[in-house]
Amino acid sequence: MGTSFTLNGEPVTVAADGNSTLLLALRNELGLQGTRFGCGAEDCGACTVLIDGHLHYSCGQFVEDTAGKHVETVEGLRGPIADALRTAFFEAGAGQCRYCLSGIFVTAHDLLMRNRQPARAEIRAALSRNLCRCGAHGSILRGVEKAATLLADMDR
Ligand code: FES
Ligand code: FES
């Protein structure tokens, strides 16, 4: 049996049982380690993915409930916004240990898809669902702002 869904554009089936979370299926069964296990309690955002285009904490999602849905992880994000974020995070030295960055990347990508030129307050609001235990929020904010600047340059 198992649960079938689309993962980063490809069909997959996992054998995970009814109590298993999408996070564990992604990491242990499908080998995608980019989605992080932080708190496991829907508090930190390290496990953030997109399900049918909406942000979700994958640690709080039963894998069975993803049947027939479209799941995107950090590994599947491609295109100008993802490229701008990668460059900007590198140039801004975003983060410290970087454990939180995958989830933040997914959240920031979602924000920039909806709003390519967010104000700092809008970035803060979007990232309020993602914690950074290193307290590296300043560099992460600068990274997202830098990504927006790169996108603005591209759009000129
Ligand atoms: S690991 Fe899912 S919110 Fe923390
Ligand atoms: S950079 Fe370490 S948790 Fe955010």
Span 15-58, pLDDT tens digits: 977 679 999 999 999 999 999 999 999 999 999 999 999 999 99
Span 7-27, pLDDT tens digits: 999 999 999 776 799 999 999
Instruction: Tell how far the Cα of 17 is from the centroid of ligand 2, in angstroms.
Output: 31
Check pocket membership of 132 for ligand 2, CB cut-off 6 A. yes
- The residue from 58, 73, 88 where one domain ends is 73
The residue written with tokens 């240990």 in the block is 97
Per-residue H/E/C for 28-49: HHCCCCCCCCCCCCCCCCCCEE
Check pocket membership of 137 for ligand 2, CB cut-off 6 A. no
Domain interval for residue 35? 3-73
pLDDT for res 19: 79
Whether residues 26 and 51 share a domain: the answer is: yes
- Three-state DSSP at 4 gives strand
The residue that leads in pLDDT, 35 or 1, is 35
| CA distances to 2, 4, 44, 93 from 68, in Å | 12, 6, 27, 38
Burial class of 62 by CB neighbour count within 10 A (0 to 12, 13 to 18, 19+): middle
Query: The CATH number of the domain where 147 resides is what?
Result: 1.10.150.120
Q: Do residues 66 and 5 make contact, with C-beta atoms less than 8 angstroms apart?
A: yes
What is the percentage of the chain residues whose pLDDT exceeds 90?
Answer: 96
Q: Give the count of domains, the chain.
A: 2
Q: Is the pTM of this model over 0.85?
A: yes
